[in-house]
Amino acid sequence: FDGLYYSYQGNCTYVLMEEIDHTIHNFGVYIDNYHCDPAQSVSCTRTLTVKHESQEVRLKTVKLIPLKVEVTVNHVAVALPYEKYSMKVYKAGINHVVELHRLKINVTYNGMAFTIRMPYSTFANNTQGQC
């Protein structure tokens, strides 16, 4: 959100972004990393989690080559494309995309990298975490 680059090399779960005031949309994005090479201090992404209201979407990297991502909603595996309420999850090329139409939010994940796009007008001064 601020245009800066952050390194996520810990063996833990990071709060990428969440609302300060959770009563508005209860929206948050989290990333779970693990040390994938014991010889180096490098981390790989295990899971990207998007929470919104009562739904929790997990994009779990099962295999990097070839890329295999498991998608669950509220801990239940789902087939893509998936749509419920104002949330849509689908594949676009190598990316897995989580869209929240009503909030104009777009989160992409390809097993190694992610992007979060959201409107400034809705979330200005109401975010915390690595953002």
For 67-77, give one letter per residue: b (16+ CB within 10 A) or e.
eebebbbeeee
Q: Does a structural domain hold residue 5?
A: no
The mean per-residue pLDDT over the stretch 6-14 comes to 76
* Full-model pTM: 0.87
Residue 21 or 6, more confident: 21
Dump pLDDT digits (tens) for 64-90.
Answer: 888 899 999 999 999 999 999 889 999
- How many domains does the chain fold into? 1
Cβ–Cβ under 8 Å, residues 91 and 77: no
- Whether residue 57 contacts residue 98, with contact meaning beta carbons closer than 8 Å, is answered with yes
Residues 106-125 pLDDT 10s: 999 998 888 999 998 888 88
- Domain membership of residue 17 (yes or no) is yes
In a domain, 1, yes or no: no
Cα(53)–Cα(25) distance, rounded to whole angstroms?
6
| Structural domain span for residue 23 | 13-128
